[in-house]
Chain A
Amino acid sequence: MYRRWLWPGFALPGILWLILLFVVPAYAVVAVGFGTVDPVLLQPVPLWNPADWNTGWLVEVLHRLQPGGTFFGVAVRTIVYVGVALVLSLLVGYPVAYYIARHAGRTKNLLLVLIILPLWISYLMRMLAWVNLLAIDGYVNRFLTYTHVLSEPRDWLGGQSSTVILALVYGYIPYLILPLYAALDRIDRSHLEAARDLGASPWATFRTVTLPLSKAGILGGAVLITLPMFGDYYTPNIVSGAPTTSMLGNQIDFYFHYGGQPTIGAAITVVLAIFLTVLMAYYMWTIHRAARDVPAV
């Protein structure tokens, strides 16, 4: 009934928009990262023709990323923060998603609303809330000293890695729980009943049926929160402010906003984007493999 060109026609405005405002900007980053610099104002001059490209900035950034270089510590620290935050998020998020998907009964809708709620509360407001709570005279310290968990107030905001990781978990975990819940909710009850009919204990059922079937959800949620986390720079700034907890995003922010070398900033961005593309490729390859393994139901 419909003309065949109708559907590409519908898609055209959106695709055009994404090309102009997503693909072209991405190329602009590359062009600046391989460009030169105007010596007076130290502003970048992008080079569009790959034949003209100046590899100096990229080489400089890669050089600094080597062990012993300026960026090595930051890069390692970023990977560690993201990794630990991911593990903690899974440890907390999986049980929550599992409970809501499988056991919640009458409170299911209420719980769903409550876990979706933080997604709509501004990230910065949630961080602001924690900054106030973690102050020396804030509620956290007052509670912990009152219950004698701590003998004296702890300086949570004084440049602690643990605070940054906890802030990352707090900030990003809602984005993990939702896809996890969706994946767990989709698991057909009949699989679990079959396992139990065959004599498996609840734990064995979980281990051999539920967990493997939720792997795609775990992976999807993990990708959804780790990729943005790698570019996070505002969380360490808000809850720490010490160079010893800075992440790679802070370096990009520094080189663009603090004068002098947007070219280095662009080169770091290019390296980060390539790293994340590798991660994404791994994810898609795993999903592709998993899709082949799961028998059609």
Chain B
Amino acid sequence: MSVAAERPAASISTGERVRGWLRNPWGRPRFLVLVTWTYVVWSIVPVLIAVQFSFNATRSRTVWQGFSGRWYWGDPVDSVWHDPTLRHAALQSLKLGGADVLVATPIGVLLAIGLARWRGWGSRPANFLMLFPLVTPEIVMGVSLLLVFTHVFTFIHTGTIAQILGHVTFSISYVVVIVRGRLFSIGRQYEEAAADLGASPTVALTRVLLPLLTPAIVASAAVVFAISLDDFVISQWLSSGGGTDTVPIVIYGATRAAPLPSTNAIATIMMVLTLLSLALAFLAWRAFTREERRASVATEFGGFTV
């Protein structure tokens, strides 16, 4: 690769670019491009096909026989709208997701701030403890939570409350990791500046730090919602039966027993909800950091590194 020919990209015509590309048919980038796009297709297309078959006119999940909304609302017995099992599962998933966000986000934010700034002897083990759920296999967590609810905290039976408690337990670590990243990039200077201007610690926390953390809080809320909706193992082990089954549990049962396109349909609905919530969070992040992105341009010139 020659170092000399570094003309500005805009001055190279498209033709020259393509000829340059073709002239080096075994160049590494070309192989990498192929691998990358093949991976992306292989990764996403199966899901798209599954979504397609949720609109199949017949019961088959493998042979396309026409477009129909049958499995969403049409079929009087088996569609998502009419089948109480599927409806209950969707509601349960949303219930768990919402509760998980409401409980895990505050706890996680506090824990993130605490761990990032705690300098005492307990901070290392505390940090270690926070990381553990991220690498524990879900079946180990499922086993331990089931046993604890049937033998230790027996006043909490398996069911919705237990599921929520289990979801929050593995969600906290995700909140911490996300918020912590934002904390490090903010640093302490804003609160110190506020203190210099006479703000009390409470004001510094609530009116300076918290607003700055908002993008991370929103992002972690969306992440928690998404992983809660997706969770299978913990929900299954702590389920107390039909009413507390979530959508992943229904999908699992269906893929092993009697799959219908309505399974594809409910999975599609959940996926759309997850992606919508993520898109909202992303937009919120951009909106909240818009000022910062504009400001950082100004501060860089001011010699004030952020």
Contacts and interface: CB of A to CB of B under 8 A. Distances in A.
Contact of B252 (A124, A170, A174): A124
B1 A231 contact: no
Contacts of A117: 43-44, 275
A100 B37 CA distance: 10
Nearest to B146: A256
Given A21-B169, A96-B35, A10 B110 contact: yes
B49 interface: yes
Contacts of A230: 137
A173 B42 CA distance: 12
> Which range contains the number of B residues in contact with the other chain?
35 or more
B139 interface: yes
A8 B120 contact: yes
A266 B219 CA distance: 36
A188 interface: no
B46 to A, nearest CB: 4
Interface in A89-125: 92-93, 95-96, 98-100, 103-104, 111, 114-115, 117-118, 120-125
A19 B33 CA distance: 47
A122 B147 contact: no
Contacts of B110: 10-11, 13-14
Nearest to B147: A28
B102 interface: no
A197 B271 CA distance: 48
B143 A29 contact: yes
A3 interface: yes
Given A124-B232, A133-B49, A139 B137 contact: no
A158 interface: no
Interface residues of A, number: 93
Contacts of B148: 21, 24-25, 28
Nearest to B39: A96
B169 A18 contact: yes
B263 interface: yes
B117 A1 contact: no
B261 to A, nearest CB: 9
Interface stretch (A55-63, A69-77, A233-241): A233-241
A258 interface: no
Contacts of A14: 107-108, 110-111, 114, 130, 172, 176
Nearest to A273: B140
Greatest chain B CB density within 10 A among A21, A120, A127 is at A21
A9 B98 CA distance: 26
Q: Can you list the 5 inter-chain pairs with the closest CB atoms, starting with the nearest?
A: A231-B137, A11-B114, A14-B111, A10-B114, A25-B144
Interface of B: 1, 3, 28-29, 31-33, 35-36, 39-40, 42-44, 46-47, 49-50, 53, 61-63, 107-108, 110-111, 113-120, 122-123, 126, 129-130, 132-141, 143-148, 151-152, 165-166, 168-169, 172, 176, 191-192, 195, 201, 204, 226, 229-230, 232-233, 237, 247-248, 251-252, 254-256, 259, 263-264, 267-268, 270-271, 274-275, 278
13 contacts: A11-B126, A15-B111, A17-B168, A99-B35, A122-B271, A123-B230, A135-B62, A228-B138, A262-B147, A272-B137, A276-B136, A276-B137, A276-B140
